[in-house]
Amino acid sequence: MYVDSHCHLSFPELAGQLADIRAEMAAAGVDRALCICTTLEEFDTVHAMAVAHDNFWCTVGVHPDNEGIAEPTPGDLCERAARDKVVAIGETGLDYYRLNGRSVADMAWQRERFRVHIDAARATGLPLVIHTRSASDDTLAILREQGGAQAGGVFHCFTETLAVARAALDLGFYVSFSGILTFRNAVELQEVARFVPLERCLIETDSPYLAPVPFRGKINTPARVPFVAKQLAALKGLEVAEVAEATSRNFERLFARTQPVATLSIDRDKQSIT
């Protein structure tokens, strides 16, 4: 059985299709999924999906790209993280791909938002779901400076270099591969997939985006995560069943931490969290 470790079932492309999506998952042998939160406004919808279904879980976080939305405080994240079926903080991180005429220096607000998420992860003991695009140096630097390794987590939908993968592994993070791994032009990423130890790999769809070959360009769903597993198995010279079992076990190991692991005082929003 397979696990989709990162999907967006609340997004408009998939909203209202949950019954069909779940039926397709069952037919494809995908028995669990992690529903990702990208804004505080979206959290109630994502959380309701997780609570309503015994094989769904969710996260709480604000995507680095999102602007004009409620800015999270550590308290906002920690309060929601304490709720049933919430197993991670994120997705969070840095994204400099669309600067829209701004400089990297202008993205200080994004770096501060990332620090807030790391603080919340450390306070709750939940892992981080990391998004990084065109910003790997700053992403890694802030994780090191802010104690992100204490929380751990996953670099989701990995598309960075081998050096970045090595740094993520050194910090104790997992690396998750999406349908991009099946693309013909993803040669460098395929080399990264060969390098990352199987015990540190996850698989995901990032649906509704990034459908794997042979569905590239179509709306993606969790039912297609086996195609990512098949490609990962081929790259590593393994049976797909071995990849399915290992990535499912990795999912359980990473997202099993639901109790606080440390006491952390946070004064970013003038409140104390223990």
Tens digit of each residue's pLDDT, the chain (274 residues): 999 999 999 999 998 999 999 999 999 999 999 999 999 999 999 999 999 999 999 999 999 999 999 999 999 999 999 999 999 999 999 999 989 899 999 999 999 999 999 999 999 999 999 999 999 999 999 999 999 999 999 999 999 999 999 999 999 999 999 999 999 999 999 999 999 999 999 999 999 999 999 999 999 999 999 999 999 999 999 999 999 999 999 999 999 843 333 434 444 443 434 3
Residue by residue, what is the 3-state secondary structure of 214-274?
CCCCCCCCHHHHHHHHHHHHHHHCCCHHHHHHHHHHHHHHHCCCCCCCCCCCCCCCCCCCC
Reduced DSSP (H G I as helix, E B as strand, rest coil) percent helix, strand, coil of the chain, to 5: 45, 15, 40
Q: Is 198 helix (H, G, I), strand (E, B) or coil?
A: helix
- Sole residue written with tokens 């991670």: 88
Name the DSSP class of 82: T
**Model pTM greater than 0.75?**
yes
User: For 2-254, which CATH class?
Assistant: alpha beta
CB atoms within 10 A of CB 188: 12
Helix, strand or coil for residue 31?
strand
**Residue whose structure tokens are 């450390």:** 122
